[in-house]
Chains A and B, each alone.
Chain A
Amino acid sequence: MSQANDAAGPAASNMKPVQVKLVLLGEAAVGKSSLVLRFVNDEFQLNKEPTIGAAFLTQKCRLEDKVIKFEIWDTAGQERFHSLAPMYYRNAQAAVIVYDVTKASSLEKAKSWVKELQRQANPNIVIALTGNKVDLVANRKNRTNNDGEVDEDGEQDAQEIDEDEEDDEDYAITRQVPTEEASAYAQESGLLFFETSAKNGQGVAEVFTEIAKKIPLEHILSSSRGARAGGVNGSNGRVDLQNGANGQRLGGQQEKGGCAC
């Protein structure tokens, strides 16, 4: 998984990357933007400005012999921005729905997002449910309770936090969403499931890698090749409007995705 996290090297840049549109959804202040920031720039800002409307970021990564370019739409979390969300999740091939493990209500919101995506979005969308801020609970000494998820990396990270804890006053926050509960829900709804910490990076890359694995990349590639063969793409640098208009279904989007690489 870790090799996929690397930004595309010079070798990879020669290849045509596969474009994957990904949208982040979830309640306000669960750490959507931080998650993206960790993934894209590998950094963490404690006080990240709330996203207004949505932020757009891209990140390339390698999976086996392919290069994937994630186009990430990081959306605003406040409830009243909800009506804007369809603008961003339309045509998305993947969604990361984020909740805060220290806040039970955020899982409820996540569930309603899942419901909405399953009904309104691209029918083949790959959805990953992600419990963020595990650093806050992993920090507690009794974390042996939820041993399942925290591996050795996690332990190390947790110690790192202990050191740079100065601005983290509420490290003693209790976990409100048990891993098992969320995991069971994810399984029954057919979602990928992760617990992450944008702060220490735990599990972040894995989210994107697993999504990349699950998305039918071959399909996207082949359909984009097909498009090229049909002379739709490439030379003139324009997407065939006709195709775009007709292909509201996945095929159409994939063509579009392919054309822009």
Chain B
Amino acid sequence: MATHLKPPQHVFILPTPCDQYNPLFDTVQSTENFVLQRTKASKSQFLNSFLGTIQNVFDGKQAPFRILFRRQLNAQALMIAESETQKNIDNAWTWIQENFVLGLQVLDDAQEKEEWVLTKIRSLVTRADKGTDDITSDEKVRSASRAFRQTFNVLPSERLVSYYSCSFHGKMMNQGWMYISENYLCFYSFMLGMETKIFLELKDIGDLQKEKSKRGVFADAIRVVMKDGREYFFSNLFHRDETYDILVQLTTLTMERLLRNTALEHAPGQSNGDDSESVKDVFSVDVDNLDNSESPYSPAPTTRPLRLGLEEQKRDSQFQLRFNLPTSEHLMEESSATMVHGDKTDMFHGRIYLSESFLCFICTEANPCVLALPLFTIRRVERMNSRSAMYALNILTWHQMRLVFRLNGPRTQCEKFCGTLKTNLKLQVRAMRSLKPFLATCFSEALLADRPDVAEKDSGLGWIFEFPGDPKKLKNKSKTKLWLQYFKDNGRNLTMNKAATFPKLIRVGLPNKLRGEVWEACSGSLYLRAMNPGEYAKLLKDNEGKMSLSLEEIEKDLNRSLPEYEAYQANQGINRLRNVLSAYAWKNPDLGYCQAMNIVTSAILIYQSEEQAFWTLNVLCDRLLPGYYSTSMYGALLDQTILEHLLEKTMPILSKHLKKVDVQLSVACLPWFLSLFINSMPLVYAFRVLDCFFFEGPKVLFQISLAILKVNGDELLASKDDGAFMDVLKKYFSTLDESAFPNSTNPKARALTKFNELMLVAYKEFESVTAEMVAELRRNHQLKVVHNIGSFTKRSQLRNITPGKFSKDEMSVIYDRFYSALFYGRSQSGRGSSKQGEARALDANTFVSFLGSIAHWAQVDDDQMEGDEVQPINGSPQHRRRGSTSTTSTARERRRVVGKHFISRLFDRFDDNGSGILSLQEVTTGLGDIIHGDMMSRMQLFFDMHDLNKDGTLNRDEILGMSESLLFIYRYDDGDTYLPAISNFIRNAFEFAEKVEPVKKEEFVVEDEDEEDEDEDSKKSKETKEGESGTEASSASSTPKTNGTTPQPQEEPEIQMSLPSFRMVVLADETLEKFFDSGFSGSFKLLEPLDRQRGLFAREVFDSLLSEGRKLAGSIAGGIQGRGRPHHAPSSSSSASLPTADANKSSASISEKQDGDAVVMPVVSGTPLAATTTAAAAAAGAGVAANRSKESDVDEDDDLEEISREDADVDGEDDDEDEDEDDEDGDGDDLLDEVEKFLTEFDLEGGSKKDLGLTSAAGAVDTTSP
């Protein structure tokens, strides 16, 4: 049913309903089922820009060409393809005609027809655009995403998150669209001919602020401040808060990636010599679920818009935070509900939530309560018939507590809720089995059963070594009694409802033996422990005997953790501490171990068993103190910034004073936060702080810190340097147990200790510091902190780099580009998964993007690199070679291969130690060698890079490879200058190379295998062509296929060019000399910006030029072997058997299109058997290029692209075989004359003045000219 033609890529879109008779479009062609339309071409410039403006303001950007499918059912239309260029749409149109018309004739039913067409289109699209927004199910996102990617130069895999209409305040107000994608914030507006484009990287955003616009009247603006100080002001945002939230969420994710990006080279907790991958996925949303193996005509499932995923992620994390649930829980159902507790009459009005394994209820009214019930603790659920036909669930928990939830929602919602609950409950049956053994480890159970002892291994060290403080003084007994009653009323451990009295019980301090368990219940670590039975033991067992950096660090500190507590002077305590800390390091190797964790852990181990402490440590590091103990410690630094901010807000005088006397708050406060006051306050008090901290979260740390500063305010105001400041606080902590009001007449007041006073101040005066406030402040300050860490890391890393001759500024640029490449490279490949140890090094793929960011020629457009993997760089040369020479069917692909392999050889050069990755130092040194080396060293570099078999000489293929590399590098330049230069290079290279006996045939055998990779289509067409022209075989060509399949090569002498001859050939040409002298090194732009968008047109020219170049190369080679040992070009004729059919054909196709070429080309093809020099061909090619470039200057027209495409289409598919257009004329003469002149000038025979090596080359010349 289909022809062999491949469908055009990136034209088809998922069928989208649209209006067939849109006034902006003209119908160009139409058939029974399809319509091809283009935007109305308007005569007037004004109308054009007006239409553009309208389109921009109302509808995003629309492509000028589109194809519609006429629905016969309801006379509507579905857009199935759109394109920016006529050529692409024409291709698509042709393809449709070829592939669909027949099929549609067979089908009668309109419905069937439509289905058939749509399925086919869908499968095309989903195959081509896998992992991009083009297959998202949301049609609006789809079109916006297309507009976004057409406007901005981003990778196709970049996913659009959201887009908003808004105005940007530049010199004037521009109404346009803001696009927010995974990595970028972009703005585009097109107003009456004025185009405004803004492209910001999220990772460089330093601050986001909500602002008011229009003189502060409307709260609809956002100010974006970049880390380098640039500011952007966007207003008229109708969903300002939503936009802001999305930006904050995305920048947060970006920051996390940034932090990981600059993290330590090796995860400290990673076992030494263990190379397993640790995959952390920030965007664990959906793309990865795409099935890779769908059959060609079964469409891949569409993806959901990224934004939905992000919203869900946010909702889930809020839900988890509110109920202290594990991160594996996702919010599935929610409803407003009323809870009745047991037989009591109290009613709680609130909301009920359901996740995979929890049923949660929260009531925030006068009688607050929070309940998170694990589903496996539910014994029975009954649906009650309640009076008002409402849904009511009667739940009996494991601890025989009866709870009734009345769902107050629409019937369907309630039914859905109950349905999900039922399903989830079933899934939890297995978990119930582990409930009983788990409860045996809970002290509350033992207490209620009136046997207040649990097994030693399930309890804290305090059971054995006594708890700190005097139990009598701590009123341990009466506190225990209170808790006993509370458990009876409100459930215990897993089923405990945190009712109104709960916070009060916490604040007076927990009784010793219950402390560990209540900490667990408060922090949610209880759930983790219950849901992951055995994991702790397994972690220890699996990693037994392994070593890691973290383990070494832990070992150092074991004897230094609460050394005054008796248990830590004995093995028992030390062992427990070691186990817990190492287990955590194994679980989270990226974090590993941070000093201060030992202090915190040793403290909680007094009250908790090993397993309890392990899970509590998890909650502590992951949720309560995020980023505190990470390798960058950004969390701790962030909270210090927030504390400073809060101090400024609440105690401005003190804050001012500290600034005045130049005391940094964090020198005193950082240890408080890191070790949770444990080594600042006497232990008894530190544990009281911990009680509150586990229940109320990190805000407590701020409240208490502020209270400390407040209580000591007067003395601190009197202190004039950090020394005095520290002394005041030290003294204060040592007197916490003293009376706060020793002189008071009131005995109650006298009994109040300084610690009591501190807690009062913390809760009363700093009540306003809420968890939400802390979260908000963290969001607001995180960007700054991360950027500070970034610049610190940068400084200290650069200090350890040997910069060579690079200036400080240049090093800074190299560093930025290096990490930028890493940053984006990582997000792209596997979305965040990276091998450990590569954290600070470029691999082959990221090296490409790094190079592209400093050298224009190394910018390879996305579709060049996408799809096929870059060859493993350290593979055997043979292996690499296979990849490099696999024949490709179009010039475009050929160029891709050339570029890729040039860069990968450069990679190998840079990779000193052969590790397969490049460190910053290697990149610096490598670049330095190129940029600061001399001309000779650069020539040597090129020579070595192309000497693939490392025999010290370049053979035929290697020389051609070199010329291709040169073409690749030059491809954005003006063709006039470089094309003749390169053709001369090839010719001279073959001239001056030494001829050797043809021995090497293995090379070709290897390459022959590659042939199989080739596209079916192109093979076919090749065969056809071969049939047509037939004579091609006689020419020696650069294509392996011809070499391999035709018997001709035995007469072909292999050639060898030595380094000196190479140098001579280069020096013989002004352009090449300039290239090696300054051109190549100058192509690396470190301090000046790269001209990114020279783009499309130049690439097209390159396509055709490269194919020309290959033809040239081939023909020269042919010429040489035909001539035997020619010494002088002008008189020698090239092979007489050169094919001309293709030359004719291609030139004809060109001349049809462009008259300018027609003048030149017939000359070439008109002398079929005459010796036409390559130089002429080159000149012709250059002429084409020049003509084109001139035109392009006038306007970048599609027609140009069309021509070159056409060119490629006709003979491009197999131009590797096209050995044609041989010509020799004056250009060649001139050149060789020049070479001779050069040689005589330097009197090479008598010994070179410039380079001794050249003499041998001269000798070679001598022998060839007897």
Contacts and interface: CB of A to CB of B under 8 A. Distances in A.
B596 interface: yes
Nearest to B792: A83
B675 A52 contact: yes
Contacts of B563: 45, 47-49
Contacts of B598: 50
Contact of A49 (B560, B662, B664, B721): B560
A256 B721 contact: yes
Contact of B723 (A58, A77, A241): A58
A207 to B, nearest CB: 20
Contacts of B264: 79
B45 interface: no
Contacts of A49: 560-563, 599, 679
A119 interface: yes
Contacts of A82: 796
B594 A56 contact: no
Interface stretch (B18-26, B114-122, B319-327, B551-559): B551-559
Q: How large is the interface on B (under 10, 10 to 19, 20 to 34, 35 or more residues)?
A: 35 or more
B43 interface: no
A115 B799 contact: yes
A19 B720 CA distance: 13
A260 B560 contact: no
Contacts of B793: 83
Contacts, number: 110
A52 B599 contact: yes
Interface in B696-726: 720-724, 726
Given A112-B800, A115-B799, A119-B799, A53 B671 contact: yes
Contacts of B561: 49
B683 interface: no
Nearest to B660: A241
Interface in B562-579: 562-563
A213 interface: no
Contact of B666 (A87, A120, A239): A87
Contacts of A120: 795
B390 interface: no
Contacts of B675: 52
Contacts of B662: 239, 244, 256
Nearest to A58: B723
A50 B595 contact: yes
B799 to A, nearest CB: 6
A56 B723 contact: yes
A239 B793 CA distance: 33
Looking at A19, A51, A237, the one whose CB has the most chain B CB atoms below 10 A away is A51
A219 B980 CA distance: 72
- Secondary structure class of chain B's binding surface, majority of residues: helix
A28 B595 contact: yes
B626 to A, nearest CB: 15
B101 to A, nearest CB: 67
A53 B599 CA distance: 13
Looking at B556, B662, B789, the one whose CB has the most chain A CB atoms below 10 A away is B662
B720 A259 contact: yes
Contacts of A51: 595
B736 interface: no
B1235 interface: no
Interface string B962-984: 00000000000000000000000
B1042 to A, nearest CB: 59
Given A80-B631, A81-B595, A116-B796, A260 B721 contact: yes
A123 to B, nearest CB: 16
A237 B664 contact: no
A52 B671 contact: yes
A28 B553 contact: yes
A194 interface: no
A84 interface: yes
Contact of A52 (B664, B679, B726): B679
B751 interface: no
A17 to B, nearest CB: 12
B1171 interface: no
A86 B664 CA distance: 11
Given A84-B633, A115-B799, A241-B660, A53 B667 contact: yes
Interface residues of A, number: 42
B670 A53 contact: yes
B653 interface: no
A53 B795 CA distance: 21
B624 interface: no
A44 to B, nearest CB: 13
Contact of B667 (A54, A80, A237): A54
Given A83-B633, A116-B796, A238 B720 contact: yes
B674 interface: yes
Contact of A78 (B553, B630, B722, B799): B553
A80 B633 CA distance: 7
A76 interface: yes
Nearest to A82: B796
B596 A52 contact: yes
Interface string A106-131: 00000010011001100000000000
A150 to B, nearest CB: 26
Nearest to A29: B556
Contacts of B799: 115-116, 119
B661 interface: yes
A120 B799 CA distance: 10
B1231 interface: no
Interface string A146-176: 0000000000000000000000000000000
Looking at A54, A83, A119, A237, the one whose CB has the most chain B CB atoms below 10 A away is A83
Contacts of A29: 556-557, 560
Contacts of A76: 595
Interface in B509-566: 553, 556-557, 559-563
Contacts of B557: 28-29, 50
B720 A260 contact: yes
A82 B792 CA distance: 10
Interface string B244-274: 0000000000000000000010000000000
Given A49-B561, A49-B599, A50-B598, A28 B556 contact: yes
B723 A78 contact: no
B632 interface: yes
Interface string B594-633: 1110110000000000000000000000000000011111
Contacts of A112: 800
B821 interface: no
Nearest to B634: A83
Contacts of B679: 49, 52
Nearest to A46: B559
A9 B660 CA distance: 33
A238 B671 contact: no
Contacts of A193: none
A208 B89 CA distance: 82
Contacts of B632: 80, 83
Contacts of B553: 28, 78
A39 interface: no
A210 interface: no
B155 to A, nearest CB: 32
Contacts of A99: none
Q: Which 6 A-B pairs have the closest CB atoms?
A: A47-B563, A47-B559, A53-B670, A56-B726, A53-B671, A52-B671
Given A238-B660, A239-B662, 19 more contacts: A19-B723, A47-B560, A48-B563, A50-B557, A50-B599, A52-B596, A52-B671, A53-B666, A53-B671, A71-B722, A78-B594, A80-B594, A84-B637, A86-B792, A237-B720, A239-B660, A241-B660, A256-B721, A260-B724
Interface of A: 19, 28-29, 45-54, 56, 58, 71, 73, 76-84, 86-88, 112, 115-116, 119-120, 237-239, 241, 244, 256, 259-260
18 contacts: A29-B557, A47-B559, A47-B560, A48-B560, A49-B561, A52-B595, A53-B667, A54-B671, A76-B595, A78-B595, A82-B796, A83-B633, A83-B789, A84-B637, A84-B670, A119-B799, A259-B720, A260-B720
